[in-house]
Chains A and B, each alone.
Chain A
């Protein structure tokens, strides 16, 4: 069989690179970085996050700060959600769109102080987003500060995540962070950012600290029993939670209405933002395709780019697919015409020439039970 070995070229390394090697992480190229795809095994790491607590090095994701009186208005102008609504300590998910409504990136914006925000962007889009933000910032009373290389970022996720982090960064600070809220504290003389967010469908925090202190924070989390998890588990976890992946489930040819991102588009505030007119027009015209969740009925694993068909006719494409360790069967997201998007619709997916029976199911595939 053909095995794809990591081809290490001129790849970047995060501040936690040595930690990954010490832990036996299998390093692969990802978005220009050398990142661990797994340590002990994807399924084991997946279950560790679902059942206990796991952590991911997400330092490859872009981190940019925007400072100045016009910070929130600038961020509102370049993103689809009304960022001027954010008070210090609050964060919101959003999209950045082109003039024609195509999605440039999906982003998370945190308001730290009235005149200081943190923007987290996808690793694969970080250079593009940096350029794009810098191209637009001139008109605003705001300043762009690149914090990407200067900081490390660790996502700690799972039902036991908060309890374990309390032992590292302090119970009072951890307990002050409600879902989607953020804050800063001091940890070993460094400023530590924390937000109650993640990309796994579990509760947890995402932490940002000076790159030099990154390995110390990572080891402190290891010491309290948080299990390292790689990109492989990150992908199976986010797919079960039906969280979108840029480059798979959306790109510049995709608009927010097609992928269920209506809730991050604010049109009623009347404010101007890039893509506003196109998005209003697209909303009125309606979509020609919709992203749906499908679950396999038989064995076989759907992957991105597999065709979706009904009877003999090709009706769509899988954008993200894989095996769900929690459900024990293949799950996927894909685009179909709106008339085939209803729950229970039976479709077939071409898995390398073999038709796999699938059914449209509610989103997400996995939802954590609320803590008692």
Chain B
């Protein structure tokens, strides 16, 4: 299934959807499928700073732990409160209810460095890592 066209992607399998200088960040459907059952998501609190392609948190599946990288630089407005008790939302709805952060962008131009849906789909079809 093609990835949604209204978001931009990283090669680390995160996505960001930008609306009026606030970016909503999550992980892709491909990533959640590869990780398997997600049991714990560790996210920064509101007010924290995140940076383009720097680690912002961790995600634990039954299988393994993985680091999360921010697609954008800015200040965390909100971390998804629902994930504390329902981390499986990331599996069930990776582009919807399973979102992770809302970030006020300090450098909106960074978005141009990210992959489009088509580019991301080609990337994972080629055997992403």
For window 45-104 of B, CB contacts with A under 8 Å fall at 58-60, 62-69, 84
A5, closest chain B residue (CB): B129
Interface: A267 (CB within 8 A): no
Q: Is the interface of A mostly helix, strand, loop or mixed?
A: loop
B129 and A43 contacting across the interface, CB-CB below 8 Å:
no
A42 and B31 contacting across the interface, CB-CB below 8 Å:
no
> What does the 1/0 interface line of A1-30 toward B look like (CB < 8 Å)?
111110000000000000000000000000
B69 and A1 contacting across the interface, CB-CB below 8 Å:
yes
Out of B39, B40, B69, B128, name the residue touching A3 (CB < 8 Å): B128
Interface: B29 (CB within 8 A): no
A41 and B67 contacting across the interface, CB-CB below 8 Å:
no
Q: How far is the CB of B88 from chain A (nearest CB, A)?
A: 9
Out of A1, A42, A322, name the residue touching B36 (CB < 8 Å): A42
Q: A1-B68, A1-B69 are in contact. Are A42 and B12 (CB under 8 A)?
A: no
Q: A1-B14, A2-B12, A3-B129 are in contact. Are A303 and B65 (CB under 8 A)?
A: yes
For window 36-77 of A, CB contacts with B under 8 Å fall at 37-38, 41-43
Interface: A325 (CB within 8 A): yes
A232 and B14 contacting across the interface, CB-CB below 8 Å:
no
Interface: B127 (CB within 8 A): yes
A299 and B62 contacting across the interface, CB-CB below 8 Å:
no
Give Cα A3–Cα B13 distance, bound, in whole angstroms.
9
Interface: B34 (CB within 8 A): yes
Residues of B within 8 A of A32 (CB): none
Interface: B27 (CB within 8 A): yes
B64 and A1 contacting across the interface, CB-CB below 8 Å:
no
Residues of B within 8 A of A301 (CB): 39-40, 60, 65
Give Cα A83–Cα B62 distance, bound, in whole angstroms.
38
Out of A3, A42, A354, name the residue touching B37 (CB < 8 Å): A42
Residues of A within 8 A of B63 (CB): 37, 42, 232
Give Cα A4–Cα B34 distance, bound, in whole angstroms.
9
Residues of B within 8 A of A232 (CB): 36, 62-63
Give Cα A132–Cα B36 distance, bound, in whole angstroms.
39
Q: How far is the CB of A245 from chain B (nearest CB, A)?
A: 15
Interface: A352 (CB within 8 A): yes
B62 and A1 contacting across the interface, CB-CB below 8 Å:
no
A3 and B34 contacting across the interface, CB-CB below 8 Å:
yes
Number of interface residues of A (CB under 8 A): 21
Residues of A within 8 A of B114 (CB): none
A236 and B65 contacting across the interface, CB-CB below 8 Å:
no
Residues of A within 8 A of B128 (CB): 3, 5
Interface: B35 (CB within 8 A): yes
Out of B35, B58, B62, B84, name the residue touching A323 (CB < 8 Å): B62
Out of A2, A5, A303, name the residue touching B67 (CB < 8 Å): A2
Residues of B within 8 A of A38 (CB): 36
Give Cα A4–Cα B63 distance, bound, in whole angstroms.
11
Interface: A300 (CB within 8 A): yes
B34 and A43 contacting across the interface, CB-CB below 8 Å:
no
Q: A1-B12, A1-B66 are in contact. Are A299 and B36 (CB under 8 A)?
A: no
Q: How far is the CB of B42 from chain A (nearest CB, A)?
A: 8
Q: How far is the CB of B112 from chain A (nearest CB, A)?
A: 22
Residues of B within 8 A of A42 (CB): 36-37, 62-63
Q: How far is the CB of B30 from chain A (nearest CB, A)?
A: 9
Residues of B within 8 A of A303 (CB): 64-65
B36 and A352 contacting across the interface, CB-CB below 8 Å:
no
Q: How far is the CB of B59 from chain A (nearest CB, A)?
A: 7
B27 and A4 contacting across the interface, CB-CB below 8 Å:
no
Q: How far is the CB of A126 from chain B (nearest CB, A)?
A: 24
Instruction: Pick from B39, B42, B128 the residue with the most CB of A within 10 Å.
Output: B39
Out of A3, A5, A41, A236, name the residue touching B66 (CB < 8 Å): A3
Residues of A within 8 A of B60 (CB): 300-301, 323
Q: A3-B128, A42-B37 are in contact. Are A352 and B64 (CB under 8 A)?
A: no
B62 and A352 contacting across the interface, CB-CB below 8 Å:
no
Q: A1-B31, A3-B129 are in contact. Are A323 and B39 (CB under 8 A)?
A: yes
In the assembled complex, 25 residue pairs joining A and B whose CB atoms fall closer than 8 Å, in A order, are A1-B27, A1-B31, A1-B67, A1-B68, A1-B69, A2-B66, A2-B129, A3-B13, A3-B31, A3-B35, A3-B129, A5-B127, A38-B36, A42-B36, A42-B63, A43-B37, A43-B62, A232-B63, A299-B84, A300-B40, A301-B40, A301-B65, A323-B39, A325-B37, A352-B65
